[in-house]
Every structure is written in C-alpha cells, then in structure tokens.
Amino acid sequence: MAHEHNHDEHDHDGHEHGSGHEDSHAAPDPLVVRTQALEALLMEKGLIDPAAIDALIDQYEHHIGPRIGARVVVRAWTDLDFRELLLRDANTALAQAGVGRLQGEDMIVLENTPTVHNVVVCTLCSCYPWPVLGLPPPWYKAMPYRSRIVREPRVVLREFGLEVSDDIEVRVWDSNAELRYMVLPMRPAESHGLGAEDLAHWVTRDSMIGVGVARAPIGAES
C-alpha cells in the first residue's frame, strides 16, 4: 500500500539501522553510547547481569509473539467451553492454555461479532498484551495510530485495508490502566473444515489488535 515513510521517529543522520558498524572515524551514534554507558555503569555497580538482558531479548525476539495468541483464538473457535471461559474470565482461560502473564497480568478478551468490531490502542503510551502478541509493532507505539484511532477509527481501519459497514458498531479500547486487551476475531466461514494447525495461520496479529480480521494466509494454496 502506498504510504510515506515517516522520518520523525528516526531523526538521526545515518542512524536508521545503525549501531552494529562502529566506524572509528565517525562520531558514534549518541543513543548507542548512552545505552552502552548505562549498561556498563550499572554492571560495574553490580546492579545488572547482561546475560539476563540477553535472555529477555531472546525470549521476545524468538519465543513470545502472535503465534501464541493465534493458538488461543483457534482454541476458542473450536471449543465452545473454552471460548465462554475466555470471554468471561480471560486470566483463568489463558493460564489453562499455558500463556504467561508479563504485561498481561489482567487480561480481557473482546469478542468481535457481526454487529460489533473491537480495536485496541494505548493513546498515552504503548500498553499492549505481550503474552499473547509479543512486543508491539512500531506503528502501534507511534503518534499517528495513537492519536487517530480513537478519533476516526473507521478511517484508520480503512488505511489498514478494513472496511467497516455503517451498521456495525466500532469500539475503541484505550488501554490506559493495567488491564490488557486482545480481540477475538470472528472465524471466517471459508475456514471451516481446517485443522487447528492450518487455522492458526488464518489468525493474524492485526486481527487480534483489531486493525484486521482473520483471513486465509497470503499465498497459501487452498
């Protein structure tokens, strides 16, 4: 889709994907220096173990992501008792499903229906349900989404390729407290007959934020 690259968030010359390449003749990126300095200082003071930082990064880069939420959605699509529990008491349902709790200690799952479409934001910062979706995509944390989704949700959803008809109610959930929200997208009719493994590929991260809907995997053979 056509869009303009927003440079406001990366306003450092030559910085965009900087850091790994320390050219000894160029001034190092101040953000790199500040970060390295802070870590070194705290390590000297015996306050941090860099290996713990490595472990955290590894978990969120490689293990905790939307595939977890997708499994939960598929289970809700195929097990009505689980679905009912998930909507009534998400914490209990997610614990049963083996989902962790960091930044999702108090969860609410929002059901999309033929008359209600839910979408989640944190206008004030970037609160996001990490245990089921991993860390948020850059656009979720940036000012365009945060400022506009509460004011003109249908226009923003259209930018994401989602058209919401006039007879549907759009609910925008601003995660301003410690509750974390995840959308339970509707199951597409075309997905009936698929097994759980295949179904999981129909559940996108965007559908669990509410800026998309569940759909057939791109490029998949039916």
Partner 1 sequence: MLTPDRVPEIIRDGFSLKLDEIVASKFVVGQEIITKNIHPAGHTRLPLYARSKRGTIMMHHGVFPFPDSSAAGAGPNPQNVYCVRFSAPEIWGDNTHPLDAIYLDLWDDYLLSLKELPR
Partner 2 sequence: MNGAHDCGGMHGFGPIDRCHEDEIFHAAWEQRVFGLLWAVGAHGFWNIDEIRQAMEGMHPNHYLSIPYFEHWLSAMERLLVEKEVVTTAELAAARTRVTQEVHHVDA
Residues involved in catalysis: 122, 125-127
x/- letters, 106..135, toward partner 2 (CB under 8 A): -----------------xxxx-------xx
Please tell me the distance from the alpha carbon of residue 112 to that of residue 107, in angstroms, as a whole number: 16
At position 71, the amino acid (one-letter code) is R
Q: Which does residue 88 touch among partner 2, partner 1, none (CB within 5 to 8 A, set by kind)?
A: none
Looking at the Cβ atoms of 4 and 166, the one nearer to partner 1 is: 166
Q: Does 180 participate in binding partner 2 (rule CB under 8 A)?
A: no
Distance CA 135, CA 28 (A): 27
CB 109 within 8 A of CB 185: no
Annotate each residue in 164-183 with x if it binds partner 1 (CB under 8 A) or - if it does not, as one string. --xxxxxxxxxxxxxx----
Q: Which of residues 64-103 bind partner 2 (CB under 8 A)?
A: none
Question: Distances in Å between the alpha carbon of 98 and those of 82, 95, 143, 145?
Answer: 13, 5, 33, 31
Positive or negative: CA dihedral 18, 19, 25, 26: positive
Structure tokens at 161: 């390729």
The reply to whether 20 sits near partner 2 by the rule CB under 8 A is: yes
Select from 114, 95, 78 the least CA-distant residue to 194. Answer: 78
* 215: Cα within 13 Å, side-chain hemisphere: 11
Q: Per rule CB under 8 A, is residue 13 in the interface with partner 1? A: no
Task: Tell which positions 63-102 bind partner 1, by CB under 8 A.
Answer: 64, 100-102
Out of 1, 2, 27, 52, the only residue in the binding site for partner 1 (CB under 8 A) is 52
Is 158 an interacting residue with respect to partner 2 (CB under 8 A)?
no
Collapsed DSSP state (helix, strand, coil) of residue 170: strand
Told to check if 105 binds partner 1 by CB under 8 A, we report: yes
Q: Is 61 one of the binding residues for partner 1 (CB under 8 A)?
A: no
Residues forming contacts to partner 1 in the complex (CB under 8 A) are 46-49, 51-52, 54-56, 59, 64, 100-106, 108, 123-124, 131, 150-151, 153-154, 166-179
